[in-house]
Amino acid sequence: MREKTGILIVEDSMDDVFFLQNAWSDTGFTIPLIHVGDGQAAIRWLTARQTSDGLLPKLVLTDLKMPGMSGFEFLKFLGDNDAFHELVALVWSNSDQPEDITRAYTLGARSYLHKPMTQDGWRLLVEQLKELYQDAPQGQIGCRKHSTDPLRS
C-alpha cells in the first residue's frame, strides 16, 4: 500500500469549506485539503485515485447532512468496500444529536467533530485535525470513541 497524504473534505457548504481553508492556511500546515461537494463526488474521486495512482488521502472528513448521498451512506460505503474500508474517516457536523453521533461511530468514524461557530473554534478545529492527521496510522480506522470537543463553546 502506498503512503497516504492529504485530507479529503466531503462537504456541501461552501461557507464551511471557506472557513476551514482560511483557518488551515493561517496555521501554515502544508498538507493538502481536497474538497468535493457530496458523497457521490467523494466516491468518484476516491475511485479515480484508486484506479490511477492508488494514492488515497490519509484522512476523510465528511459532513453528515448533505443532499443526495448523506455522510452516513458515505461512511457505510467506505466500510463496505475493500479498497476504502481502511481509510481514516472523521465526521464533522452541526448535529449534536446522540443518535447521529452513535450512528457515525457505528459506521466506522474515528472521531466526531462539531463545526465551529467562531474564529477561535475554527483554529481549534484545525489543531484537532493536525493532531488526528499526525496520529493517524496508515490505513486503519482505529478506535470509535468520542473526542473532546471544545469547539461548541
pLDDT tens-digit series, residues 94-114: 999 999 999 999 999 999 999
- pLDDT, residue 13, reads 96
Instruction: Look at residue 147 in the predicted model and tell me its pLDDT.
Output: 38
pLDDT at 145 (0 to 100): 33
Decide: 46 and 4 in contact? Cβ < 8 Å.
Answer: no
End-to-end CA distance of the chain: 40
pLDDT, residue 3, reads 60
Residue 36 is predicted with a pLDDT of: 96
What DSSP state is assigned to residue 149?
-
Say yes or no to pLDDT of 150 above 80. no
Predicted pLDDT at 19: 94
Query: What would the grid cell of residue 76 be?
Result: 457505510
- The tens digit of pLDDT for each residue in 34-74 reads 999 999 999 999 999 888 877 889 999 999 999 989 999 99
3-class state of residue 32 by DSSP = coil
pLDDT, tens digit, 9 for 90 and up, residues 111-148: 999 999 999 999 999 999 999 888 876 544 333 333 33
Q: What are the structural domains, with CATH classification, of the chain?
A: 7-147 (3.40.50.2300)
Q: How many CB atoms lie within 10 A of CB 51?
A: 9
Beta bridge partners, 9, equal: 35, 61
Residue 94 confidence (pLDDT)? 94
Q: What is the pLDDT of residue 50?
A: 84
